[in-house]
Amino acid sequence: MLALITISNKRNNNSRQKINEKQIQAQKAKLDKLALPQLQKGVASNESEVRIETTAGPITVKLFNQEAPLAVQNFMTHAKQGYYDGTNFHRVVKDFMIQGGDPKGTGAGGHSIWYQKIQN
């Protein structure tokens, strides 16, 4: 025999609900004000554009220096040093995304230039 027991807590959740609604509205307001740079055509002065040469043809990528400065510097440093040369895209989802940069091609990740600097 299987029994399903549910307990309903009917205490006043109105204040909690109002707080959640306020938080949701605040987040929506932030999103409304947020410019989504990945959707903008062209390259802004605080962005970089790189061209990745692949066996299937070139890919142009926009980098967001202001939003992700450490990630951009890590990528650019590795690219200039040839770190990504000959690596595979270990995950490809047609018409959506690709993932690469792992020198072993497993998706486990590679080395970061920040590894020693950020360790606690």
- pTM, entire model: 0.63
**Is 30 inside any structural domain?**
no
Does a structural domain hold residue 48?
Answer: yes
| C-alpha span between 39 and 42 (Å, rounded) | 9
Per-residue exposure over 57-72, b if at least 16 CB sit within 10 Å of its own CB, e if not: eeeeeebeeeeeeeeb
What CATH number did the domain enclosing 106 receive? 2.40.100.10
In this structure, is residue 119 part of a structural domain?
no
Task: Give domain status of residue 14, yes or no.
Answer: no
Domain tally, the chain: 1
How do the pLDDT tens digits run along the chain, 120 residues long?
444 444 444 555 555 566 678 788 777 766 665 667 777 788 889 899 999 999 989 999 999 998 899 999 999 999 999 999 999 988 899 989 888 888 887 888 788 888 776 554
Q: Is residue 1 part of a domain?
A: no
Residue 102 lies in a domain: yes
What domain range is 81 assigned to? 43-111
94 in a structural domain: yes
Q: Is residue 10 part of a domain?
A: no
Element (H, E) at 116: helix 115-118
